[in-house]
Amino acid sequence: SCLLRLHKNVPRHEPSSSQVTRSMERGAPPPGGMGSSTLDRPLSLIGFEYLHISPEKVTGRLEITERCCQPWDVMHGGVSAMVAEGTASMGAYVSSGFARVAGAQLSINHLRPASLGDSLLAEASPLHAGRTIQVWEVKLWKVGSSDPGNRTLMSASKVTLVCGRHRQGDNNAYEQVVKRFAKL
């Protein structure tokens, strides 16, 4: 899955677990800001930003840049898949009580193209939130710049996740970052 696991040996430009924890103890946002690599490294590389995280819904936004596009200035389908798995994984992580999750299956229907400069809204919600298996639906909407209420469905995905897997390493700092962002 696309969940970030904070390691002791992180690259210099990423905050360490202790930096995140100290920052939170002072009441400051984690280094890098919310919606950045603190929450999800792969999605941060394409500019994705989380807006809301809860067990019932995860939302985020993405501005389509050249980094997201094929040579024809159309968003690559793999970007939609990465956003779908990332948002569903985040929702399952919170919904499962912060147990480790792993993507097991992803299906996606690309309904309309997104082009360079478009703004997208991602909405993920659980169809089934069991202890071991969760299934999330993720919709990507193209939103109008002048009227955010004017939106067009771009893709629809279903993501199946296995929850409660054995944790590797210390994920407590990451759990605290997500809890703070989700206001849990």
**Does residue 85 have an active-site annotation?**
yes
Question: Residues 61, 49: contact at Cβ < 8 Å?
Answer: yes
Q: Indicate if the pLDDT at residue 138 is higher than 70.
A: yes
Q: Indicate if the pLDDT at residue 23 is higher than 90.
A: no
Give the predicted TM-score (pTM) of the model: 0.77
CA separation for the pair 14, 49 (Å, rounded): 17
- The stretch 148-165 carries a mean pLDDT of 92
Q: Indicate if the pLDDT at residue 56 is higher than 80.
A: yes
CA separation for the pair 27, 115 (Å, rounded): 39
Kind plus residue range of the DSSP H or E element containing 119? strand 119-129
pLDDT number for residue 96: 95
Q: Indicate if the pLDDT at residue 74 is higher than 70.
A: yes
The token pair that represents 13 in the structure block: 């430009």
Residue 21: helix, strand or coil by DSSP? helix
Question: Residues 35, 43: contact at Cβ < 8 Å?
Answer: no
pLDDT number for residue 92: 97
Question: Residues 59, 50: contact at Cβ < 8 Å?
Answer: yes
DSSP state of 59: E
Domain ranges of the chain: 17-182
Question: Residues 60, 122: contact at Cβ < 8 Å?
Answer: yes
- The stretch 138-152 carries a mean pLDDT of 87
The domain defined by 17-182 carries CATH number 3.10.129.10 = yes
Average predicted confidence (pLDDT) for the chain = 82
88-99: burial string, b at 16+ Cβ within 10 Å, e else: bbbbbbbbbebb
pLDDT tens digits, residue range 83-135? 999 999 999 999 999 999 999 999 999 999 999 999 999 999 999 999 999 99
pLDDT tens digits, residue range 168-177? 666 778 888 8
The token pair that represents 96 in the structure block: 């499962």
Q: Indicate if the pLDDT at residue 24 is higher than 90.
A: no
Q: Indicate if the pLDDT at residue 4 is higher than 70.
A: no
Active-site residue, selected from the candidate residues 25, 56, 66, 85 = 85
